[in-house]
Structure 1
Amino acid sequence: MGTGIAEVAAQSGFDVLLYDVDPKALARALERVEADLQRQAAKGRIPGSAVRAIRERITTTTSLGDLAAADFVIEAAPEDLELKRQLFERLDRLCRPEVVLATNTSSLSVTQIGAAALRPGRVVGMHFFNPVPAMQLVEVVAGDASGEAALQATEALAEALGKRPVRVRDTPGFVVNRVARPFSGEALRLLGERVAAPAQIDRIARLACGFRMGPFELMDLVGLDISLAVHRSVYEQFFGAPRFRPHPLQERMVKAGRLGRKTGQGWYRYQDGRAVDGPAPAQHARVPGPRVPEVRRVAVLGDPDLADLAAQAGYRLVDCCADADLVVLGDPGLLVGRQPAPEVVVLVEASTRSTTELAAQVVNPARVVGYGGLPRLSRRQLVEVAPGLRTDPSATDLAVRFFHSLGRDTEVVGDSAGLVAARLLACLINEAAFALQEGVATAEAIDTAVRLGLNYPLGPLEWADELGPDRVLAVLEGLQRELGEERYRPAPLLRKHAIAGVP
């Protein structure tokens, strides 16, 4: 990480002094900088003539005392609290009083690191993201004693480096590493509960939610050992809060040596750096295909988005369930007093309750199939289809063919409240709501940090505005009711927004 920071600083016109106790490590760092600059020049991102000038702005030293001349210090030592405290104690004595001392820690407390300095007001967090040259985000972390002048100077330097600073409070995981925990954590629970396989979950994350990479693909990229270590660190720092509990599957994979891409096998098998058994690409182009022959008339109640798609696909929309060949329900309560014929397939939106529970309200549970409608179908390229305990396979088959006719891919998943997409999003949103309520950062800062630091299509609070706090709350309450786990306890702030009807 320190090498990347040095490279970006040199490219931004700063003279850089790179320190390490190991001269071989410094030589390797300069080689990496040179190689990356040459790659950038080959791709036309920087002039070839600039490579030497940038490289010559970086000098190295094995003497910490040489940092006494620095105007700003960024520490990127290994994540060892005692090591960092010793460094900052020495830097505080060496550097001029006005010099900011910034730590690039991703998991340790800035307050604890700064407490080793006689002037903790100049100690701040400056958390870069890998790869530093490509990632825009820098979390500027305010420890309990960090001074406003030091924080502003850090933000100004981040901007001078071409980065986007986001001010956050010193709490475990800051914003990005905290709010991102449910993405992999909830995916592991979905796998552990046999709701879906890794490739299905990743495919749903990509095609239903718009993520660039699914949670299992991401764990394989980062390394399962690193992912488990971060989960454990955040869990321990939150004194065992159930929301952050690691999953036994993680430890089993690590003990088996299946660490992801770097070992050639993790959740997927890899050849030449590419997964050979990863999630399949989209098969449908979000344009209507051939209609289901046995379905001409469709009654859609409570899901106007799906009604529009069905009409575009050429189905005749009817208001009376008795006249329909297929009934779609955004809410099964809408069926009161107007049940369809027993042989008619009924699709029920299953983001808040299981298909089996919802089917109990329909005249023939064998013809009931759950589907994922959160996010709305016009946003999705893929729809989860979830048969209940009593669902006939022919009903599931018709549901799959119907969604294909709307130009959507499908994944048949296990029967569970929230299915996959709504469950992942609701848990991400809930953690962001907890962070906002605790004053870790502003709503805008949380969304910006997550979009830039994780390449999410939307920030979690932007997702909450789009889906509606009331619907997110309903998903969490459905999960809590079905699974009985405290980890799905809704953030009080989210509940208040749902009750008040405000985003």
Structure 2
Amino acid sequence: MSSVTSRQYSIQTVGIVGTGAMGRGIAQIAALAGLKIRLYDTNSTAVGAARDYLSDTFAKLVAKGKLDNSRSLAALACVTGANGLDELKDCDLVVEAIVEKLDVKRGLFKELEGIVSERCILASNTSSLSITAIAAGCADPSRVFGYHFFNPVPLMKVVEVIDGLRSDPAAGDALMDLSRRMGHTPVRAKDMPGFIVNHAGRGMNTEGLRIADEGIASFVDVDRIMREQAGFRLGPFELLDLTALDVSHPVMESIYHQFYEEPRFTPSPITGTRLAGGLIGRKAGEGFYKYVDGKQQVDPEAPAPTELPTRVWVSSRVPAAHDAVLALVAKAGVAVDEGATPAADSLIVVTPLGFDATTAAVDEGLDASRVIAIDTLFPLAGAQRRTLMTTPATTRAARDAAHALFAHDGVPVTVIRDSTGFVAQRVVATIVNIGCDIAQRRIASPQDIDLAVTLGLGYPRGPLALGDALGAQSILTILRNIFSVLGDPRYRPSPWLARRAQLGMSLMQADAADNGNAKEQA
């Protein structure tokens, strides 16, 4: 952080450059908070269109009883257009929401610097560009900040306040206060690629793409597993269709290259190819799914086989998982093979963490043609979905018998091909690991990391709380076992995870000597 002498900042008038979806959204929440808004766009007709949009939006909110009419009129009266940048001269804050090009943003801020007062904060709504790099074009970089909202702004109640290397902390504090005034939850982040939310979001998307790229499971099956077994609101491919590949693919490439080809963030050729083919998502009518009148089209699942196995042998390598599987076997009324080794006609069930079914079978000297692995990271009893995994040698008869067994109580079952860490284990462990690495780099506090992710991505828990809920030691085991099989550095555990798992500490807990202050080493 810079040691600049802090100024006093009071924000009453806000200039917004760029009147697209983001600019309009920011104007809406700011006007409703009673701030004076000046809208500017290089396209002169866009300013009028933005004001008309706000008028229509406020009218709809009034009609639905969500906004008082007098407040609607007062908010709209706060919004005026600007014919040129010079009309922003008395603004206390200018937020740019323009094209994601560094040279364009840097040029805009350099021009604004010669117009506004020294007490005016210049904020960029960039999602992935360096705030320090944007500020480098200014004579006074201390006033430049990242102020990253999410689309749609009125509904996505989180905003990232990003300090550049030379930013004045007092200006960031003023933006934090302003966010709360506008009804949003602010989180503070250090200037690093992807900040918090786009950084943390790499886990779900890149790992889901990697699984599909390896031919482990279809897009639909990966989404079903992540939604119904792991408890996420959307699977990775539903999420990519929602954000659209023309937005998400460039961000994936940008973050990957900004981190100097960090393996954890490696993009997939799947998204590049689909982007080139125009299959970008919901707004185009087709992405990973087809959409008719905006509704996702998915074929119904085939019914589960019904012929149960004669008897089942269950590995005892993981005692808790062994007992959970036996409970399901008993519920289905299938006999248990209690031998030290499986009988010649028994279905063989293994419960690996991180390992693939092949490695688990070979490690225990089992007949791979009869081996089925079941994912036990999430509870089997009361599950919304279960995942089974075959070895390349598993017979169709063994696969179908296992499917019938674990779907006997009416719970849907997805059968995937052999994969280190199944689907849910891989994706969840990657999400937790990247969240831990954000904490390790002191990009944000553990609390802000989880708050940003739950509000910005809609995850059931933040990555650190999720790791605590599933057990940091289990997540560490999954990653180490995947790494031992594949040797891929994308699965190397974060030191934050490894050390806290070894010490029995919560992943939410900062170093004791830091007294919970994530900024001490920023």
2:478, 2:442 → 1: CA distance? 24
Q: What is the identity, as a one-letter code, of the residue corresponding to 2:375? A: G
Q: Which runs of 5+ in 2 are unaligned?
A: 1-21, 507-522
Secondary structure at 1:350 match in 2:
coil
1:116-174 CA distance string (max 9 Å, x none) = 22222221111101000001110010111111211110100000000000011000000
Q: CA deviation at 1:351?
A: 3.1
Q: What is the identity, as a one-letter code, of the residue corresponding to 2:60? A: R
Equivalent of residue 428 in structure 1, options 424, 427, 431: 431
Question: Counterpart in 1 of 2:6?
Answer: none
Question: Counterpart in 1 of 2:358?
Answer: 356
TM-aligned CA distance change 1:272 to 1:467, over 3 Å: same
Secondary structure at 2:114 match in 1:
helix
Residues 148-187 of structure 1 aligned to structure 2 (within 5 Å) = 148-187=169-208
1:412-448 CA distance string (max 9 Å, x none) = 0011110100100111111111111111011111111
Question: Counterpart in 1 of 2:346?
Answer: 344
Question: Counterpart in 2 of 1:499?
Answer: 502
Residues 410-449 of structure 1 aligned to structure 2 (within 5 Å) = 410-449=413-452
Equivalent of residue 453 in structure 1, options 429, 453, 456: 456
- Give the conservation status (yes or no) of the 8 Å contact 2:289–2:296: yes
Residues 66-145 of structure 1 aligned to structure 2 (within 5 Å) = 66-145=87-166
1:325 and 2:354 are equivalent in the alignment:
no
- Give the conservation status (yes or no) of the 8 Å contact 1:297–1:315: no
1:165, 1:125 → 2: CA distance? 12
**RMSD over aligned Cα atoms:** 2.7
408-417 vs 75-84, which deviates more? 75-84
Q: CA deviation at 1:311?
A: 4.6
TM-aligned CA distance change 1:354 to 1:326, over 3 Å: farther
1:255 and 2:276 are equivalent in the alignment:
yes
TM-aligned CA distance change 1:305 to 1:245, over 3 Å: closer
Question: Counterpart in 2 of 1:203?
Answer: 224
Secondary structure at 1:157 match in 2:
helix
464-473 vs 141-150, which deviates more? 464-473
2:318, 2:410 → 1: CA distance? 21
Question: Counterpart in 2 of 1:332?
Answer: none
1:494, 1:298 → 2: CA distance? 31
1:151, 1:299 → 2: CA distance? 55
Equivalent of residue 487 in structure 2, options 484, 487, 490: 484
2:480, 2:437 → 1: CA distance? 16
Question: Counterpart in 1 of 2:331?
Answer: 315
2:69, 2:382 → 1: CA distance? 43
- Give the conservation status (yes or no) of the 8 Å contact 1:37–1:51: yes
TM-aligned CA distance change 1:299 to 1:226, over 3 Å: closer
Q: CA deviation at 1:244?
A: 1.5
1:182-236 CA distance string (max 9 Å, x none) = 2111111111110000000011110011111111111112112222111111111
82-91 vs 136-145, which deviates more? 82-91
1:260, 1:296 → 2: CA distance? 44
Secondary structure at 1:34 match in 2:
helix
Secondary structure at 1:5 match in 2:
helix
Secondary structure at 1:69 match in 2:
coil
76-85 vs 411-420, which deviates more? 76-85
Question: Counterpart in 1 of 2:394?
Answer: 391
Give the % identical residues.
Answer: 36
360-369 vs 350-359, which deviates more? 360-369
1:43, 1:313 → 2: CA distance? 52
1:48-85 CA distance string (max 9 Å, x none) = 45433322221111211111111222221211211211
TM-aligned CA distance change 1:310 to 1:13, over 3 Å: farther
TM-aligned CA distance change 1:51 to 1:305, over 3 Å: farther
Question: Number of matched residues?
Answer: 483
- Give the conservation status (yes or no) of the 8 Å contact 2:450–2:465: yes
2:301, 2:397 → 1: CA distance? 24
- Give the conservation status (yes or no) of the 8 Å contact 1:306–1:378: no
- Give the conservation status (yes or no) of the 8 Å contact 1:291–1:313: no
Q: What is the identity, as a one-letter code, of the residue corresponding to 1:217? A: E
Q: CA deviation at 1:44?
A: 2.2
2:93, 2:185 → 1: CA distance? 18
Q: Which runs of 5+ in 1 are unaligned?
A: 285-289, 318-323, 328-334
483-492 vs 267-276, which deviates more? 483-492
TM-aligned CA distance change 1:279 to 1:104, over 3 Å: farther
Q: What is the identity, as a one-letter code, of the residue corresponding to 2:335? A: D
1:202, 1:62 → 2: CA distance? 47
Q: CA deviation at 1:316?
A: 9.4
2:35, 2:89 → 1: CA distance? 17
